[in-house]
């Protein structure tokens, strides 16, 4: 549980970049029918479709993308730290992906060109306003807030 907060607390080192990754695979869908116009008082239903594929989470996926010597060369370089199960709130990349989904991708998009244009416009807007996450959850705070996840030790009798 402390692994991810430890990484975020590390001082910046330009020779050792920290790359946060998360994926969101999307299917491109246009409208099946002409959408009805909104009417006052109607609730808008958001249709978000995606497919998750877990094959990119292992270094072995490099061997599907590159010849073996190149895959091995690349695999030796990264130091990978996985977000704990049910710990997606610890992953800054996943937090940003969720913001992107809500603000940009929570509707049908029918082709790759439009998809890329929409993402580029969203990214420009975020960069112009210097939108960022101010991470404040430290390892010390994790020990206090997540005390129930740590094992309980009792003193050994006779000592």
Average pLDDT, the chain: 76
Confidence of residue 120 (pLDDT cuts 50, 70, 90): very high
pLDDT at 138: 81
Tokens 């946060």 found at: 20
Structure tokens of 86? Answer: 């049910």
Dihedral pair phi/psi, residue 26, rounded to 5°? -120, 145
Dihedral pair phi/psi, residue 37, rounded to 5°? -65, 155
| Domain ranges (residues) in the chain | 54-131
Tell me the C-alpha distance between 153 and 150, whole Å. 9
SS3 (DSSP) at 87 = coil
- Per-residue model confidence as pLDDT tens digits over 56-113: 567 888 888 889 999 899 888 888 777 766 666 676 777 788 888 888 888 888 888 9
């Amino acid at each position: 549980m402390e692994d991810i907060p430890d990484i975020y607390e590390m001082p910046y080192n330009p020779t050792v970049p920290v790359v946060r990754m998360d994926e969101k695979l999307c299917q491109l869908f246009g409208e099946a029918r002409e959408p009805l116009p909104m009417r006052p008082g109607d609730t808008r239903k958001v249709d978000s479709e995606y497919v998750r594929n877990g094959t990119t989470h292992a270094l072995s996926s490099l061997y599907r993308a590159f010849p073996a010597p190149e895959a091995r060369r690349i695999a030796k370089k990264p130091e990978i730290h996985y977000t704990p199960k049910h710990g997606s709130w610890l992953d800054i990349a996943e937090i940003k992906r969720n913001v992107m989904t809500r603000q940009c991708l929570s509707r049908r998009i029918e082709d790759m060109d439009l998809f890329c244009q929409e993402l580029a416009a969203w990214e420009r807007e975020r960069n112009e306003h210097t939108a960022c996450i101010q991470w404040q959850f430290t390892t010390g705070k994790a020990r206090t807030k997540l005390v129930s996840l740590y094992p309980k030790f009792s003193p050994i009798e006779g000592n």
